[in-house]
Structure 1
Amino acid sequence: MLTIGLAQIDIHAGNPRYNTETMKQQIRRAEDAGCDVIIFPELTIPGYFIGDVWEQADFIADAIACGEEIRQAADTITVIFGNVAMDPHRRQKDGRPRKYNALFIAQNRRFIGPENSPYPYYIKTLLPNYREFSDTRYFTSLTEVAAEQHTDPTALLSPVTLSLGAAGNLCLGPLICEDSWDDSYPLKPMETLAAQYPIDLFINISASPFTLGKNRRRHRLFSKTLKKLHCPAVYVNCTGIQNNGKNIYTFDGSSSAYNKDGSLAYEGTAFAEELAIVRYNETTRHFATPQQNHQPPTEIASIYTALHYGLTSFLAASGLQKVVIGVSGGIDSAVNAALYATVLPPENLLLVNMPTRYNSETTRSLAKKTALNLNCPYAVIPVEDSVLLTEQQLQQVTNRQPRAARAPLTITQAVLENVQARDRSSRILAAVAAAFGGVFTCNANKAELSVGYATLYGDSAGFLALTGDLWKHQIYDLARYLNDHVFKREVIPQGTLDIVPSAELSAHQKVDEGRGDPLIYPYHDYLLAAFIEFWQRPTPATILRRYAAGTLEAYLGCPVQIRDIFPTTAAFIADLEKWWNLFAGFAVAKRIQSPPILALSRRAYGYDLRESQLTPYYSQEYKELKKQLLQS
Structure 2
Amino acid sequence: MLKIALAQMEVIPGRPDLNTDKMLSMIHTARTQYADIIIFPEMAIPGYLLGDTWEQQAFLRDCEAFGKQIIAASQDICIIYGNIAVDWSKRGDDGRVRKHNACFVAQNEQLIATRIKTLQPNYREFDDTRHFVSLRKLAIDLKQDVESLLEPVAVIIKNKEYHLGCIICEDGWSDDYSIDPITALTTNGALDIIINISSSPFTLGKNNKRNRVFSKQAQETGKPLIYVNNTGLQNNGKTVYTFDGFSTVYNGDGQIIAYCPPFTEKLEYIDLTIAAGGRDLSPVSVPDDFTTVSLYQAVSYGVRLFLQSIGMNKIVIGVSGGIDSAVCAALYASIIPPQNILLVNMPSKFNSKTTKDLAAQLAQNLGCLYTIMPIEQSVENTAAQLSGTPITKLTSNESFQLSISSFVLENMQARDRSSRLLAGIAAAFGGGFTCNANKSELTVGYSTLYGDQAGFLAALADLWKHQVYELANYLNTCVYGKEVIPQAVIDLVPSAELSFDQSVDEGKGDPIIYPYHDYLFRAFMEYWNRATPEDILHWYKEGSHVLEQRLGCATGLVDKIFPTPRHFIDDLERWWRLYTGMAVAKRIQAPPVLAVSRRAYGFDHREAQNSVYFTQEYLKLKHTLLSAT
Per the TM superposition, whether the score is higher than 0.5 is yes
Aligned residues: 624
Deviations for 1:46-77, whole angstroms, at most 9, x for unmatched residues?
00001000000000000010000111111121
Q: Is the aligned partner of 1:67 residue 2:67?
A: yes
Q: Tell me the SS of whatever aligns to 1:508.
A: helix
Q: Tell me the SS of whatever aligns to 1:314.
A: helix
- CA contact 1:239–1:271 (8 Å) conserved in 2: yes
Q: Specify the alignment match of 1:76 in structure 2.
A: 76
Q: CA deviation at 1:526?
A: 0.2
Identity %: 52
The whole-number CA distance in structure 1 between the counterparts of 2:625 and 2:190 is 62
Q: Specify the alignment match of 2:484 in structure 1.
A: 491
- CA contact 2:42–2:103 (8 Å) conserved in 1: yes
Q: Tell me the SS of whatever aligns to 2:102.
A: strand
Q: Tell me the SS of whatever aligns to 1:235.
A: strand
Unaligned stretches of 5+ residues in structure 1: 114-120
Q: CA deviation at 1:191?
A: 1.3
Q: Specify the alignment match of 2:550 in structure 1.
A: 555
Q: Structure 2 matches for 1:206-245, cutoff 5 A?
A: 206-245=198-237
- CA contact 2:205–2:288 (8 Å) conserved in 1: no
Pick from 384, 388, 396 the counterpart of residue 392 of structure 1. Answer: 384
Q: Tell me the SS of whatever aligns to 2:43.
A: coil
Q: CA deviation at 1:297?
A: 4.9
Deviations for 1:187-245, whole angstroms, at most 9, x for unmatched residues?
01011111332210011100000001100100000111221111111010000100010
The whole-number CA distance in structure 2 between the counterparts of 1:394 and 1:556 is 45
Q: Is the aligned partner of 1:418 residue 2:414?
A: no
Equivalent position amino acid for 1:296 in 2 = D
Equivalent position amino acid for 1:40 in 2 = F
Equivalent position amino acid for 1:42 in 2 = E
Distance 1:189 1:54, change over 3 A: same
- CA contact 2:338–2:369 (8 Å) conserved in 1: yes
Pick from 569, 584, 589 the counterpart of residue 588 of structure 1. Answer: 584
Deviations for 1:553-579, whole angstroms, at most 9, x for unmatched residues?
000000152011010110100000000
Q: Tell me the SS of whatever aligns to 1:286.
A: coil
Equivalent position amino acid for 1:281 in 2 = T
Pick from 465, 471, 493 the counterpart of residue 472 of structure 1. Answer: 465
Q: Tell me the SS of whatever aligns to 1:574.
A: helix
Equivalent position amino acid for 2:570 in 1 = A
Q: Specify the alignment match of 1:628 in structure 2.
A: 624
Distance 1:63 1:287, change over 3 A: farther
Equivalent position amino acid for 2:420 in 1 = R
Q: CA deviation at 1:300?
A: 0.9
Q: CA deviation at 1:290?
A: 5.9
Q: CA deviation at 1:293?
A: 3.6
Equivalent position amino acid for 1:74 in 2 = S
Q: Tell me the SS of whatever aligns to 2:84.
A: strand
Pick from 123, 138, 142 the counterpart of residue 135 of structure 2. Answer: 142
The whole-number CA distance in structure 2 between the counterparts of 1:296 and 1:471 is 20
Q: Is the aligned partner of 1:482 residue 2:487?
A: no
Q: Specify the alignment match of 1:343 in structure 2.
A: 335
- CA contact 1:40–1:81 (8 Å) conserved in 2: yes
Q: CA deviation at 1:288?
A: 5.3
Q: Tell me the SS of whatever aligns to 1:269.
A: coil
Output the TM-score relative to the length of structure 1.
Answer: 0.97
Q: CA deviation at 1:416?
A: 0.5
Q: Structure 2 matches for 1:539-578, cutoff 5 A?
A: 539-550=532-543, 551-560=546-555, 561-578=557-574
Q: Specify the alignment match of 1:118 in structure 2.
A: none
Deviations for 1:421-449, whole angstroms, at most 9, x for unmatched residues?
00000000001111111000000000000
Q: CA deviation at 1:407?
A: 5.2
Q: Is the aligned partner of 1:507 residue 2:500?
A: yes
The whole-number CA distance in structure 2 between the counterparts of 1:332 and 1:540 is 29
Q: CA deviation at 1:289?
A: 5.5
Q: Structure 2 matches for 1:284-323, cutoff 5 A?
A: 284-286=276-278, 292-297=284-289, 299-323=291-315
Q: Structure 2 matches for 1:365-380, cutoff 5 A?
A: 365-380=357-372
- CA contact 1:238–1:253 (8 Å) conserved in 2: yes
Equivalent position amino acid for 1:254 in 2 = F
The whole-number CA distance in structure 1 between the counterparts of 2:401 and 2:383 is 14
Q: Specify the alignment match of 2:517 in structure 1.
A: 524
- CA contact 2:255–2:283 (8 Å) conserved in 1: no
- CA contact 2:458–2:593 (8 Å) conserved in 1: yes
Deviations for 1:123-154, whole angstroms, at most 9, x for unmatched residues?
00001010000000000011111111111101
- CA contact 1:268–1:292 (8 Å) conserved in 2: no
Equivalent position amino acid for 2:594 in 1 = L
Output the TM-score relative to the length of structure 2.
Answer: 0.98
Q: Tell me the SS of whatever aligns to 1:344.
A: coil
Q: Tell me the SS of whatever aligns to 2:501.
A: coil
The whole-number CA distance in structure 2 between the counterparts of 1:171 and 1:28 is 24
- CA contact 1:7–1:236 (8 Å) conserved in 2: yes
- CA contact 1:278–1:287 (8 Å) conserved in 2: no
The whole-number CA distance in structure 2 between the counterparts of 1:571 and 1:513 is 24
Name which of structure 1's ranges 444-453 and 197-206 shifts more when overlaid on structure 2: 197-206
Deviations for 1:500-543, whole angstroms, at most 9, x for unmatched residues?
00000001000000000000000000000000110011110000
Q: Tell me the SS of whatever aligns to 1:328.
A: coil
Deviations for 1:254-282, whole angstroms, at most 9, x for unmatched residues?
10111011111111111000100011112
Q: CA deviation at 1:294?
A: 3.2
The whole-number CA distance in structure 1 between the counterparts of 2:419 and 2:143 is 59
Q: CA deviation at 1:408?
A: 3.8
Deviations for 1:347-378, whole angstroms, at most 9, x for unmatched residues?
10100000000000000000000000001110
- Cα RMSD after superposing both structures: 1.1
Q: Tell me the SS of whatever aligns to 1:172.
A: strand
Q: CA deviation at 1:399?
A: 3.0
The whole-number CA distance in structure 2 between the counterparts of 1:524 and 1:422 is 26
The whole-number CA distance in structure 1 between the counterparts of 2:42 and 2:290 is 28
Q: Specify the alignment match of 1:383 in structure 2.
A: 375
Q: Specify the alignment match of 1:258 in structure 2.
A: 250
Name which of structure 1's ranges 289-298 and 536-545 shifts more when overlaid on structure 2: 289-298
Q: Tell me the SS of whatever aligns to 1:197.
A: coil
Q: Specify the alignment match of 1:117 in structure 2.
A: none
The whole-number CA distance in structure 1 between the counterparts of 2:568 and 2:421 is 40
Q: Is the aligned partner of 1:171 residue 2:163?
A: yes
- CA contact 2:121–2:128 (8 Å) conserved in 1: yes
The whole-number CA distance in structure 1 between the counterparts of 2:11 and 2:400 is 56
